[in-house]
């Protein structure tokens, strides 16, 4: 009786190992169930900015970005779900919000999104295009 239990346990462990191996192989080929997306924000203004980016559940925390410097954060998103990361961006005399990442809008090259912050609004840097694509602030 004891050997029957051991044989079933070994069979179950082998089946689980094979299942996990196939899932990992499929994830490498297809891009995975969870994709790590990286957002890089560059301050092109002549003064420092304070940004705070968050989604429904997570926050990148307040970040102080000097002129010409950048800040990068990353997150995991699940395939098929809508993700929106909204940032508040402020400098003396200005306060704006912008959806820095919207999974319905953004198709980042190799899961890397690059944004420049300008007075008029954020500009998406896409490798396919010569010039950045600038958008208006949310507010």
Instruction: Give the pLDDT confidence score for residue 26 in this predicted structure.
Output: 41
Which is more confident, 68 or 103? Answer: 68
DSSP string, 32-101: -SEEEEEEEEEE-SSS-EEEEEE-SS-EEEEEEE-TT-EEEEEEEEETTS--EEEEEEEETTEEEEEEEE
Pairing of strands 49-54, 84-91: antiparallel
Same domain, 18 and 78: no
Instruction: Give the pLDDT confidence score for residue 32 in this predicted structure.
Output: 52
pLDDT (tens digit per residue) in 54-96: 998 889 999 999 999 999 999 887 666 778 999 999 999 999 9
Residue 82 lies in a domain: yes
Pairing of strands 84-91, 94-102: antiparallel
Q: What letter does residue 12 receive in the DSSP assignment?
A: H
Name the pLDDT band for 28 (thresholds 50, 70, 90). very low
Instruction: Give the pLDDT confidence score for residue 27 in this predicted structure.
Output: 42
d(C-alpha 65, C-alpha 79), whole Å: 31
Residue 50 lies in a domain: yes
Instruction: Give the pLDDT confidence score for residue 11 in this predicted structure.
Output: 65
Instruction: Give the pLDDT confidence score for residue 76 in this predicted structure.
Output: 82
Number of folded domains that form the chain: 2
Residue 139 lies in a domain: no
Here the tokens at position 119 are 């007075």
Cβ contacts of residue 103 below 8 Å, gap of 6+? Answer: 77, 81, 82, 83, 84
What is the SS3 assignment for 134?
strand
Same domain, 58 and 79: yes
d(C-alpha 121, C-alpha 89), whole Å: 10
Same domain, 60 and 43: yes
Name the pLDDT band for 29 (thresholds 50, 70, 90). very low
Same domain, 15 and 47: no
d(C-alpha 64, C-alpha 126), whole Å: 24
Average per-residue pLDDT for the chain: 82
d(C-alpha 127, C-alpha 122), whole Å: 16
């Amino acid at each position: 009786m004891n050997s029957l239990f051991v044989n079933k346990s070994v069979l179950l462990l082998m089946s689980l190992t094979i299942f996990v191996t196939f899932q990992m192989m499929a994830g490498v080929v297809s891009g995975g169930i969870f994709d790590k997306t990286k957002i890089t924000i560059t301050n092109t203004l002549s003064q420092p900015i304070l940004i705070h980016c968050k989604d429904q559940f997570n926050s990148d925390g307040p970040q102080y970005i000097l002129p010409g410097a950048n800040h990068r954060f990353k997150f995991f998103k699940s395939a098929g779900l809508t993700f929106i990361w909204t940032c508040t961006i402020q400098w003396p005399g200005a306060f704006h919000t912008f959806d820095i990442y919207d999974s319905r809008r953004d198709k980042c090259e190799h899961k890397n999104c690059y944004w420049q912050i300008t007075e008029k609004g954020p500009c998406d840097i896409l490798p396919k295009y010569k010039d950045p694509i600038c958008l208006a602030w949310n507010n």
